[in-house]
């Protein structure tokens, strides 16, 4: 006897359809799973058998073969427990599922028949909708995430027995599917606000520009100047994730954690330590998983004490910063993970940390300072759009509070700028000014005769690369959006240039 139903497997962030085929015949009792299963799937034989018995059904004492097709793709995890159990009960004649071709199943079984959550549920729900499935049976704690996907009915269940009872009656299915309405997203960064920071007006202005266009930012300054404090508050001025962005981010985090049942509504802020391993940063492993750069997708990757990160890790940032995704290859499988993030790095200007400080003299020799900066990858420095020197506060700044803008006030300006960008790139895959192509940049310059004359002069004077010039134009466009200007004025371009070259340390760093 033969029975077949549908389930899913994950390759990176994408899901593919898997057929769970069950064959039962007379002979010595055995239970075999084929189709490149990993150890967790082979262990499902014990889980499935116990779950079927504890749910009040009989486990057939016959020769059982389960095939996970296509057989040339490696399967991993305990997510096939539920479809295997349903297939065995169906092929043995104990249950009969109506409209099985419209149904798909996923879930890990406990020994008592209860269902545990699985990873990657949003990707699976998207694929189920794409191939035309009508009902998707899954663990209850996964249902909220999966319900974001349209054109498929999510059937949440807490146990194997619940699913069997629903499968036997179509009348119950149409009333059991799960649906949610997206609740209003509240700001969870109330404890991190720019009103806590005194002074540092130039740094705040640079951060506002960087946040508006998602430009990469470097903060340079002596110890205690407030680089980390400023960086951690950038997340409080970023606009909230749109629904599509929330789904993108949640797909990545659902691969990272199976028990994360909520929609990711806040932009990620990832702050790895400089002792992080290469796999933890870029992703990978025997079964590829997203690393910190993918977990920072649509948010911020903050690297504090940037000079302490190994050079190999810094070099690994090149391709993700350029392409906004990373491809990890393992044997015959290549997994692509999105990683469109805003890179924020903080570093001291020298080994002692006091180069450029007005109150404490730097004790480093010029050669040591040059060696210190040469240890940081030149190509990565070229990909950092804005470099800002953060000085230590004056004595008066600690006493006189003055007026400091809150994060909510700054965020309103950033949101207005983002709305302008959204309208401009409405019919494209671009979300922010930092993502625009060279063709778009050329079109901006061609319309501006003043810029066309000025750019060659500045390129020669400051020895700017083509990437640096493109970055300056993007930042200028962001400044124009903040000022609600249709055109890029020369003053905007010169301000952008200041953030690119005028750190106060350029004479030493660039020589």
Return the CATH number at 325: 3.40.50.300
Residues spanned by the domain of 208:
194-420
Q: Which of 63, 61, 41, 40 is nearest to 52 (CA)?
A: 61
Mark whether 127 and 241 lie in a shared domain.
Answer: no
Mark whether 133 and 211 lie in a shared domain.
Answer: no
pLDDT at residue number 284 = 87
Mark whether 156 and 209 lie in a shared domain.
Answer: no
Domain boundary among 397, 420, 443: 420
Please report whether residue 464 resides in a domain: no
CA dist list (Å): 47 to 43, 180, 405: 7, 32, 58
Q: Strand, helix or coil at 490?
A: helix
In the predicted structure, residue 190 carries a pLDDT above the cut 70: no
Mark whether 239 and 205 lie in a shared domain.
Answer: yes
Please report whether residue 434 resides in a domain: no
pLDDT above 70 covers a percentage of the chain that reads 91
Residue with the larger pLDDT of the pair 480 and 509: 480
CA dist list (Å): 436 to 128, 148, 245: 33, 29, 18
Contact 210, 342 (CB under 8 A): yes
Mark whether 266 and 208 lie in a shared domain.
Answer: yes
Please report whether residue 371 resides in a domain: yes
Please report whether residue 306 resides in a domain: yes
In the predicted structure, residue 295 carries a pLDDT above the cut 60: yes
Burial per residue of 92-119, b for 16 or more beta-carbon CB atoms within 10 angstroms, e otherwise:
beebebeebebbbbbbbbeeebbbbbbb
pLDDT digits (tens, 9 = 90+) for 406-450: 999 999 999 999 999 999 999 888 999 999 999 999 899 988 888
Mark whether 167 and 222 lie in a shared domain.
Answer: no
Starting at the edge strand found earlier in the chain, the sheet holding 103-105 runs 30-34, 63-69, 14-25, 2-11, 103-105, 135-139, 153-157
Integer Cα distance of 228 and 305 in angstroms = 9
Mean pLDDT (the chain) is: 88
| Span 168-196, average pLDDT | 59
Mark whether 99 and 199 lie in a shared domain.
Answer: no
Q: Residue 397: left if φ>0, alpha if ψ -120 to 50, beta else—which one?
A: alpha
Please report whether residue 58 resides in a domain: yes
Integer Cα distance of 37 and 403 in angstroms = 63
Mark whether 207 and 161 lie in a shared domain.
Answer: no
Which residue reads 């004595």 in tokens? 395
Contact 230, 217 (CB under 8 A): no
Contact 119, 257 (CB under 8 A): yes
Mark whether 354 and 219 lie in a shared domain.
Answer: yes
In the predicted structure, residue 181 carries a pLDDT above the cut 60: no
| Contacts (Cβ under 8 Å, ≥6 apart) of 56 | 161
Contact 238, 265 (CB under 8 A): no
Question: Phi first, then psi: what are they for 52, rounded to 5°?
Answer: -65, -45
Q: Which of 308, 372, 349 is nearest to 221 (CA)?
A: 349
pLDDT at residue number 504 = 56
pLDDT at residue number 263 = 79
3-state SS record for 394-429: CHHHHHCCCCCCCHHHHHHHHHHHHHHHHHHCCCCC
pLDDT confidence band for 255 (50 / 70 / 90): confident
Mark whether 164 and 220 lie in a shared domain.
Answer: no
In the predicted structure, residue 242 carries a pLDDT above the cut 50: yes
In the predicted structure, residue 197 carries a pLDDT above the cut 90: no
Domain boundary among 371, 399, 420: 420
Please report whether residue 490 resides in a domain: no
Domain boundary among 355, 385, 420: 420
Contact 493, 450 (CB under 8 A): no
Please report whether residue 461 resides in a domain: no
pLDDT at residue number 182 = 42
pLDDT confidence band for 260 (50 / 70 / 90): low
pLDDT digits (tens, 9 = 90+) for 359-383: 889 999 988 988 888 888 888 999 9
DSSP secondary structure of 145-214: HHTTSSSSEEEEESBHHHHHHHHT-HHHHHHH-B---PPPPPP--TT--GGG--S-HHHHHHHHHHHHHT
CATH of the domain at 20: 3.30.230.10
Q: Which two tokens stand for residue 213?
A: 């266009």
Q: Strand, helix or coil at 373?
A: helix
Angle at 278 between CA 277 and CA 281, to 5 degrees: 90
Mark whether 144 and 209 lie in a shared domain.
Answer: no
Integer Cα distance of 231 and 229 in angstroms = 6
Mark whether 333 and 294 lie in a shared domain.
Answer: yes
In the predicted structure, residue 510 carries a pLDDT above the cut 80: no
Please report whether residue 389 resides in a domain: yes
Provide the domain count of the chain. 2
| Span 287-299, average pLDDT | 92
pLDDT digits (tens, 9 = 90+) for 85-129: 999 999 999 998 888 899 999 999 999 999 999 999 999 999 999
| Bridge partners, 387 (sequence order) | 218
Residue with the larger pLDDT of the pair 257 and 377: 377
Helix (H) or strand (E) holding 212: helix 201-213
The rounded radius of gyration (Å) of the Cα atoms in the chain is 28
pLDDT at residue number 98 = 80
């Amino acid at each position: 006897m033969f029975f077949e139903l549908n389930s899913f497997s994950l390759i990176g962030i994408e899901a593919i359809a898997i057929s769970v085929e069950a064959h039962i015949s007379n002979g010595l009792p055995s239970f075999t799973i084929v189709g490149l299963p990993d150890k967790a799937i082979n262990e499902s034989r014990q889980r499935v058998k116990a779950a079927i018995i504890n749910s009040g059904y009989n486990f057939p004492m016959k020769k059982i073969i389960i095939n996970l097709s296509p057989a040339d793709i490696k399967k991993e995890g305990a997510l096939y427990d539920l479809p295997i159990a349903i297939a065995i009960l169906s092929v043995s004649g104990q249950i009969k599922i109506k409209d099985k071709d419209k149904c798909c199943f996923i879930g890990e079984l406990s020994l008592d028949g209860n269902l545990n959550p699985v990873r990657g549920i949003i990707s699976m729900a998207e694929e189920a909708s794409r191939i035309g499935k009508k009902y998707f049976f899954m663990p209850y704690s996964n249902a909220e995430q999966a319900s974001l996907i349209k054109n498929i009915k999510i059937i949440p269940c807490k146990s194997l027995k619940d699913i069997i009872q629903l499968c036997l009656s179509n009348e119950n299915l149409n009333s059991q599917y799960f649906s949610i309405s997206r609740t209003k997203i509240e700001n969870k960064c109330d404890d991190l606000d720019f009103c806590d920071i005194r002074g540092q007006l130039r740094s705040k202005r640079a951060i506002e520009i960087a946040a508006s266009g998602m430009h990469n930012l470097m903060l340079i300054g002596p110890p205690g100047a407030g680089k980390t404090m400023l960086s951690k508050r950038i997340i409080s001025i970023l606009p909230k994730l749109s629904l599509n962005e929330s789904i993108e981010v949640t797909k990545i985090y659902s691969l990272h954690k199976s028990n994360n049942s909520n929609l990711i509504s806040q932009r990620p802020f990832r702050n790895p330590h400089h002792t992080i391993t290469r796999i933890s940063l870029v992703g990978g492993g025997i079964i590829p998983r997203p690393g910190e750069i993918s977990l920072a997708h649509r948010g911020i990757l903050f690297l504090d004490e940037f000079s302490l990160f190994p050079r190999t890790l810094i070099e690994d940032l090149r391709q993700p910063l350029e392409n906004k995704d990373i491809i990890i290859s393992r044997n015959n499988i290549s997994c692509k993970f999105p990683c469109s993030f805003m890179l924020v790095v903080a570093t001291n200007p020298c080994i002692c940390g006091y180069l450029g400080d007005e109150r404490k003299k730097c004790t480093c020799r010029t050669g040591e300072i040059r060696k210190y900066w040469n240890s940081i990858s030149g190509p990565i420095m070229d990909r950092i759009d804005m470099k800002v020197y953060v000085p230590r506060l004056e004595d008066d700044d600690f006493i006189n509070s003055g007026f400091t803008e809150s994060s909510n006030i700054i965020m309103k300006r950033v949101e207005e700028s983002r709305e302008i960008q959204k309208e401009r790139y409405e019919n494209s895959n671009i979300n922010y000014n930092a993502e625009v192509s060279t063709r778009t940049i050329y079109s901006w310059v061609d319309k501006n005769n003043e810029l066309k004359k000025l750019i060659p002069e500045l390129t020669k004077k400051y020895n700017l690369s083509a990437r640096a010039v493109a970055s300056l134009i993007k930042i200028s466009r962001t400044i124009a959006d903040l000022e609600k200007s249709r055109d890029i004025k020369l003053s905007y371009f010169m301000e952008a240039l200041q953030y690119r070259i005028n750190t106060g340390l350029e004479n030493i760093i660039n020589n």
